Amino acid sequence: MAMEANFDGLIGPTHNYGGLSDGNIASASNAGLTARPKDAVIQGLGKMLTMHQSGLWQGVLPPQQRPFLPALRALGFSGSDRTMYEQGWKQVPGLMKNIISASSMWAANAATVSPSPDCSDGQLHLTPANLSTMLHRSLEHEQTSRALRAAFPFAKVHPALISQSVFSDEGAANHVRLCADRGQQGVELFVYGRGGFEPTTDGFPARQTREASEAIARQHCLNPERTVFARQSRQAINAGAFHNDVVCVGALNTLFYHELAFENKETVHADIRKAAAGLFDPVLVEVPVKDVPIDDAIQAYLFNSMLIKFPDDSRLTLIAPTETRDNERTREYCNKLTSGNGPIGTVQYVDVRQSMRNGGGPACLRLRVTMTDQEWSQVNPAMKMDEQLFSRLERWARKHYRETLSPEDLPDPSLMEESFAALDALTEILNLGSDFYPFQRLS
């Protein structure tokens, strides 16, 4: 038996609205708002508990050390943590906003995952994403590797690709696995926004290159005949689809996507059908512009949903953000979708508003890892969500997190100290060892 587990990024104590991501409209338009870190982490935990209680495998990935002081040291700051922090804010406030971001919560960008039935060596492969396009996110991959090794000690966790523009990689947000049955060979679809050697174009940045996707497919030992590379449309990127998962989501044999998601959709259809030949018939559900204009799709995050097969259901459930319900076009489309007899039978709405304001919907917050039950039994048990872990984490968050965090609060060094105290306590709860975070290794 094989199932898809969701590993959600636990939202960190420094969650704030930094306006750091060019091309991510929510991040830009909500810059400077007052964030509510305690609400944010509790919203995320609520989503994890619901998934666990629905009979799915659910795990949790720890937040990263923020502020990320090793970056300050590498850039010439020295002295005590407090001194560095204060000097950093005095001298380079722009840098400080990057090293304090809680962006590792968006676990869909943590890594690209290829389940063992797709890999010729029969192993589960993960490549942490280098996230090299955005400074704040480029600081994540080392600690992400550590977290993935702690969660999946049996898996092949590769180093991130070379951190440079030719190999820009944003992980599972640009990757979809289609299959008939989770335990059997599937088709892996990699979506890229540009060729790494192409001259740069105007407009919002394309964060994934074809060369990065190809390198991952190679090192994951994927069968080239069962692998598809598709180009994201420039129109979608310029409308704010900074990752493919803003305009596309897939599960089992179903791909649900916006009409404008791909540069050449006929080629994408043909390539998917060819790669799936003899395995399954792909079901391609295209949402037309006339029903949902691309701007509505992106504002309401219709596609940044989780497409889930609950154990007792025959059809799929779309777990969408409440913003999809609040937008008339997407709400009407969802009503139409579920009243038909297509593959998606239900839409459920989940409140992850704190994360959404930074462009992170329900799908961004989780990394999907398909495993056999034998592999699941080898996952770090302390990182598996259940009622007990939920209560411990909720208590921990209520104790350590601030109610509110505004841009003026960020330079306060006690925020750093509170954050480190929270993370120190967390390493015990998730059984990560007392040297998991850089600040723990120094002292």
Annotation says 221 is catalytic: no
Indicate the Cα dihedral angle 318, 319, 325, 330, nearest 10°: -40
The answer to whether 150 and 436 have CB atoms below 8 angstroms apart is yes
Q: Which of residues 116-135 bind ligand SUG (CB under 6 A)?
A: 134
The answer to whether 114 and 124 have CB atoms below 8 angstroms apart is yes
The answer to whether 3 and 373 have CB atoms below 8 angstroms apart is yes
Q: Does 108 bind ligand SUG (CB under 6 A)?
A: yes
The answer, yes or no, to whether the previous bond of 381 is cis (omega within 30 of 0) is no
Annotation says 175 is catalytic: no
Q: To the nearest whole angstrom, how small is the minimum distance from the Cβ of residue 290 to ligand SUG?
A: 25
Distance, in Å, from the CA atom of 332 to the CA atom of 291, rounded to the nearest integer, reads: 9
Q: Does 21 bind ligand SUG (CB under 6 A)?
A: yes
Q: To the nearest whole angstrom, how small is the minimum distance from the Cβ of residue 171 to ligand SUG?
A: 8
Annotation says 158 is catalytic: no
Contacts with 388 (C-beta within 8 Å, 6 or more apart), sequence order: none
Q: Does 103 bind ligand SUG (CB under 6 A)?
A: yes
- Contact window for ligand SUG (CB under 6 A) among 42-50, 154-162, 328-336, 352-360: 352-360
- Contact window for ligand SUG (CB under 6 A) among 71-79, 120-128, 239-247, 397-405: 239-247
Q: Does 357 bind ligand SUG (CB under 6 A)?
A: no
Q: To the nearest whole angstrom, how small is the minimum distance from the Cβ of residue 361 to ligand SUG?
A: 7
Distance, in Å, from the CA atom of 251 to the CA atom of 182, rounded to the nearest integer, reads: 10
Find tokens 């094989």 and name the residue.
2
Distance, in Å, from the CA atom of 179 to the CA atom of 185, rounded to the nearest integer, reads: 7
Assigned token pair, 331:
């709400």
Choice from 104, 109, 227, 324 touching ligand SUG (CB under 6 A): 109
Name the 3-class secondary structure at 230.
strand
Q: Does 360 bind ligand SUG (CB under 6 A)?
A: yes
Q: To the nearest whole angstrom, how small is the minimum distance from the Cβ of residue 240 to ligand SUG?
A: 10
Q: Does 137 bind ligand SUG (CB under 6 A)?
A: yes
Q: Which residues are catalytic?
A: 170, 243, 364
Residues that bind ligand SUG (CB under 6 A): 17-21, 24, 27, 101, 103, 106, 108-109, 134, 137, 173, 242-243, 245-246, 358-360, 364
